[in-house]
Each structure stands twice: as C-alpha cells, then as structure tokens.
Structure 1
Amino acid sequence: METIIMAVTIDPRSVHAKEVQTTLTKHGCIIKTRIGLHEVSQDSCSEQGLIILHINSSIDKVKIFENELLDIDGVKVKYMTL
C-alpha cells in the first residue's frame, strides 16, 4: 500500500460538488482523511473548493479514482506519493 496525499479543486463548487461527493463516497474505503476548504463570509460562499485527501491504497486504485474525478467538469487533481 502507498500513502498518497491528493488535492482536488472544484470550480464552480456549487455546480459540481454533488458529483464529486458521489465519487468520494464510492472510493471512501481508500480515504483515511478528508479536509474540505473554501472561503466563506457573511455575504458569500466561494465557488472554488479545495479537498485534501490522505489515501492509503495501491497506485492502481488511486489512478482509477483520479480518472473518475477528472471526468467531472471543473475538477482538477494532483497527488504525491510518500
């Protein structure tokens, strides 16, 4: 098993977040930690989202997960193996 840190950006978040969430749930067994970040204020909520994932899985499963995320419009993925 590899330890991988993955960053996922979503823009616009309000349009694509539901589909991203479905994909995260589908691959939930390989996700050890998930941190979701976006700017908020009293007047607005940012359309740009960032999700940081700590993944414990084989690189083959990570690539499948990455490709499913990249199939969603507005999503970018980068990851590093530790």
Structure 2
Amino acid sequence: MKKSILLVLVGKRKEEAVKVQQILTAWGCMIKTRLGIHDGVLENCSDSGLIMLELVGEDEKKEELERKLSVLPGVTAKLVNLEVTE
C-alpha cells in the first residue's frame, strides 16, 4: 500500500490563502483528503496554517502540484510518499 501526503505550510495565510485555494481547486480531482489547521480563533487568528492533503493519481502530477504551491511567497510544500512493505 502506498500513500502520498502533501504538507503545505502557509506562512502568510491572510495574503496567500486565496492563491493557495485557487491552486487546490484547480487540482481538486487529485485530492482525496484535506485537513487544514491554524492556531487561534476569532480576533486571535494566526497568520500561519498547515494543510495536509492525501493525493491520488500520477506521481508527476503530485510533484507538479508541490512545485506550484512552493513558488508562492511564504508557502512551503513537501510531498511525502509512504509505503508499507511486507
């Protein structure tokens, strides 16, 4: 079994969230699971956030999505492939 997880750290969430969302929407068919986390609520809302994506599809497309997100200022993306060997 193989799983591909894309971790996306958004350092300037208020400035970059719209661009990140546009990219994720364009690549939405590859996203099986999405979890977003940021510290704080209401007036104490953090300007950074973490998005964890479980991806499906071709490895080349997953790597391209990682690159597209990584070029945004204040955004770091890291693709992690996990595989269980028996």
Structure 1 Cα separation of the partners of residues 12 and 32 of structure 2: 26
The secondary structure found in structure 2 opposite 1:69 is: helix
1:56 aligns with 2:56: yes
Which residue does the alignment assign to 2:37?
Answer: 37
Q: Which amino acid aligns with 1:75?
A: V
Offset of residue 20 of structure 1: 0.1
Deviations 1:53-73 (A, max 9, x none): 000121100111111101211
Instruction: Work out the CA distance in 2 between the residues paired with 1:33 and 1:41.
Output: 23
Give identity over the alignment, percent.
36
Which residues of structure 2 form unaligned runs of 5+?
none
The structure 1 segments of at least 4 consecutive aligned residues displaced by more than 3 Å after TM superposition are none
- For residues 42 and 30 of structure 1, what CA distance do their matches in structure 2 show? 31
Aligned residues: 81
| Higher Rg | 2
Deviation at 1:42, TM superposition (A): 4.6
Q: TM-score, normalised by structure 1?
A: 0.91
